[in-house]
Amino acid sequence: MDRRPLGRSGLTVSALGLGCMGMSEFYGPSDDDASLATLEAALDAGITFFDSSDMYGWGHNETLIGRFLKGRRDKVVLATKFGVVRGPNGEWLGIDGRPDHVRAACEASLTRLGVEVIDVYYQHRVDPKTPIEDTVGAMARLVDEGKVRALGLSECAVETFQRANAVHPIAAVQSEYSLWSRDPEAGMLAAVRAAGAAFVAYSPLGRAFLTGTVSGPDALAPTDFRRNNPRFQGEALETNRKLAVALGEIAAAKGVTAAQLALAWLLNKNADVIPIPGTRRIRYIHENVAAAGITLSAQEIADLDALFPPEAVAGTRYPEAAMAALNR
C-alpha cells in the first residue's frame, strides 16, 4: 500500500489506517480474540497506522492494542488520545485539558499500551476551560521527554489549530470526514495544508451507513450508539438512505462496493488525507485495503461531490450533547 507523510513529523503511514474504537464499545458486543485477529490481518495487508483512545472502553482498547503490539511495535505507527474523562462505569465526566491531566493521562496510556513512546498523541476533544496553549505546552513537554513523537488535535476549530500549532507543530488534525460529513472542506483542510500537517479522517464510511449494510436503528445491537444518532432516525434516515442507495448504484456500475467507492473518493480527492475506517472483521480489512488501489477520474470525483452536497445529508453528526462538546 502507498504511504503518506504524517505532516512534518518525519513519520509516514499507510494511506489507509485502522480505527480501533469499535473493538471495545459503541458498536455492540465485541470479541477480543476476533479483534486481535483483525489487527493482525490489517498489519499483514499493509496497514501500519492504528488509532485508539484512552476513553474507548475506558482503557480496554489501549490494553487490547498493547497485547497486539508485543513483538510488533516497530511495525506500527501508534496513535492514541486523551481528554475525554469517564467514570468507573463508563459515565461521561467531561473534558480535561489541564497540564496535570495531560501528563497523568499519557503515563496511564503508556502503561496500558505497554510501550515506551506513543507515536501520535491527540487531544481528543478541546477543553473550553483550559487555554489550548496550556494543553499543547504540556503535550510538547512529553515530546521533549521522549514519551511522545508527534502531536495531534481531534475535532478542533481552525483558530484552535492555528493557536496550537504556534506552540508546537501539530502533525495531524483528526475529524469526521466522508461523503456525508464534508465539514473539513469548509476551511480546516486548507488550514492543515498551509501548516504542512496531515488530516486524518475518522468514520470515512459514515459509521457504516455509506456501505449500504445498515438498514436502520432496529437492526443494530441494543448497545450500539448509532441508535441515538440523528442521522439514523426518522425522516433523516429515509433521506440519507436514498443517498446510500445512489452511491451503491454508482459503485455497482464501476464493479466495486459502496464502501470501496467512498474510500476511493477520499483517497483520490485528497493526497494528504489519511482515512481510518474501523472494523472488527477481517473480510472488511481486505475490502478496505483494495479501495486504496482504485483510481477515480476527476469527473467521477466531481459526480460524487455533486451527489453528496453537505446540505443533502439530514441530521447532525452526533446527538445534541455530543455536538456541544465539539470545538467549532
* Whole-angstrom Cα Rg for the chain: 19
Query: Residue 213 has what pLDDT?
Result: 87
Q: What percent of the chain has pLDDT over 90?
A: 90
Query: Residue 301 has what pLDDT?
Result: 98
Catalytic (active site) residue 56: yes
* Identity of the residue numbered 325: A
Span 10-21, average pLDDT? 98
Angle at 273 between CA 240 and CA 15, to 5 degrees: 105
Query: Residue 305 has what pLDDT?
Result: 97
Domains and CATH numbers, the chain: 3-206+263-294 (3.20.20.100)
* Identity of the residue numbered 68: F
- Residue 197 to residue 169: CA distance in whole angstroms: 8
- Residue 99 to residue 71: CA distance in whole angstroms: 32
Query: Residue 89 has what pLDDT?
Result: 85
Query: Can you give the pTM of this predicted structure?
Result: 0.96
> Which residue reads 455509506 in cell numbers?
210
Query: Residue 142 has what pLDDT?
Result: 98
**123 strand-pairing partners:** 82, 153
Reported as a single tens digit per residue, the pLDDT across 68-102 is 999 999 999 999 999 999 998 889 999 999 999 99
Decide if pLDDT at 219 tops 90.
no
Reported as a single tens digit per residue, the pLDDT across 16-57 is 999 999 999 988 889 999 999 999 999 999 999 999 999 999
Query: Residue 220 has what pLDDT?
Result: 87
Q: How many CB atoms lie within 10 A of CB 194?
A: 10
Span 191-201, average pLDDT? 97
* Identity of the residue numbered 306: A
Strand stretches in 177-291, DSSP E: 198-202, 273-275
Angle at 177 between CA 320 and CA 202, to 5 degrees: 85
Q: For 122, list phi and psi in degrees, rounded to 5.
A: -100, 145
Reported as a single tens digit per residue, the pLDDT across 227-262 is 989 999 999 999 999 999 999 999 999 999 999 999
Residue in 56, 121, 202, 318 annotated catalytic? 56
- Residue 164 to residue 170: CA distance in whole angstroms: 7
Q: Which DSSP letter does residue 221 get?
A: -
Query: Residue 298 has what pLDDT?
Result: 97
Query: Residue 214 has what pLDDT?
Result: 86
